[in-house]
Structure 1
């Protein structure tokens, strides 16, 4: 089974969408480990603050199948298939790593955002401090300690839903429409 890390973000109805992502990813992958949830400023555009976290899971899916499953979840919860990189998002799910694989297709692995964005690196360093970045071979904790970019980011209190219960109807998308604010 492959060890994967997934970045989760939302700045539209944040608590609802982060909770839904957690429950949906639990259905897809089983047992999950999660970083704390962080609130971060929008990066690259003016918009509402995001909730971000990183989730660890194990899978027998291929990289392509993982990426497809994540994109399908995003779309179910209202993210337009071709939404711009820098815009508001109901749910943003990115496969950060897949074991130690380094590739460009079907997606860039490891994701470049790991080294560029505090809202990815801090939760990843918290969740997997001793894991090594497949390219730099530095631990995520060492990368976070050396991080110098000014980004506003802070951990928040978050009440996690119980993954053993059926996904509540209030979290399911009701005729979700693509959103980009």
Structure 2
């Protein structure tokens, strides 16, 4: 059993897809800690705004098996991996941290994930799990967010459809 911090994003029907992802995580892993959802500009390409959120789960899967399960969930909801690395996506879920593991590979698995430096990943995680320590720096997520150069990035909280989240619509909560 391990604790995983996840980053979720979508810019194609984003509120719907993030809500579906939260519901799928809850169905597979039980109670999850879910952040608020935030609308943010696309990073790395010109595209529609993203809705981003975070979740903390207790997983019975090792990191590679969890990564495979998350990719299957993305694929089941129309994720297209044939285009450029940065582009529109129905659902993107990444493992940002898994316990205190530091690893590179196999495949695209990188822990901690480099995107942790971005506000769209760090802010939601720091809000729901401020005391989790990022193993490479030895700093808590709250400390990393307090020192972030992206604290001024525009992030507007959005409401997710309640029916697909089991009633959770905004703000951090266990769902």
Report the secondary structure of 1:124's partner residue: helix
Q: Superposition pairs for residues 39-54 of structure 1, below 5 Å? A: 39-54=39-54
1:157 aligned residue (127, 152, 159) = 159
Extract unaligned runs of 5+ from structure 2.
Answer: 168-175
Change beyond 3 A, Cα 1:38–1:121:
same
Equivalent-residue separation in structure 2 for 1:133 and 1:60 (angstroms): 21
Q: Superposition pairs for residues 65-104 of structure 1, below 5 Å? A: 65-104=65-104
Bigger drift between 58-67 and 154-163 goes to: 154-163
Shift in Å at residue 104 of structure 1?
Answer: 0.2
Match of 1:174?
none
Change beyond 3 A, Cα 1:100–1:160:
farther
Match of 1:178?
none
Shift in Å at residue 73 of structure 1?
Answer: 0.7
Show CA shifts across 1:14-35 (max 9, x none). Answer: 1211111111111221111111
TM-score (norm 2): 0.87
Shift in Å at residue 133 of structure 1?
Answer: 0.6
Change beyond 3 A, Cα 1:137–1:90:
same
Equivalent-residue separation in structure 2 for 1:9 and 1:162 (angstroms): 16
Change beyond 3 A, Cα 1:38–1:63:
same
Bigger drift between 155-164 and 66-75 goes to: 155-164
CA RMSD, 1 decimal:
1.7
| Larger strand fraction of residues | 2
Shift in Å at residue 80 of structure 1?
Answer: 1.8
On the 8 A contact 1:29/1:59 being kept in 2, the answer is: yes
Show CA shifts across 1:113-137 (max 9, x none). Answer: 002x100000011011111111101
Q: Provide the aligned length of Structure 1 versus Structure 2.
A: 164
Report the secondary structure of 2:103's partner residue: coil
Equivalent-residue separation in structure 2 for 1:163 and 1:13 (angstroms): 15
On the 8 A contact 1:23/1:161 being kept in 2, the answer is: no
Bigger drift between 144-153 and 90-99 goes to: 144-153
Shift in Å at residue 82 of structure 1?
Answer: 4.1
Report the secondary structure of 1:101's partner residue: coil
Bigger drift between 142-151 and 96-105 goes to: 142-151
TM-score (norm 1): 0.84
Extract unaligned runs of 5+ from structure 1.
Answer: 166-181
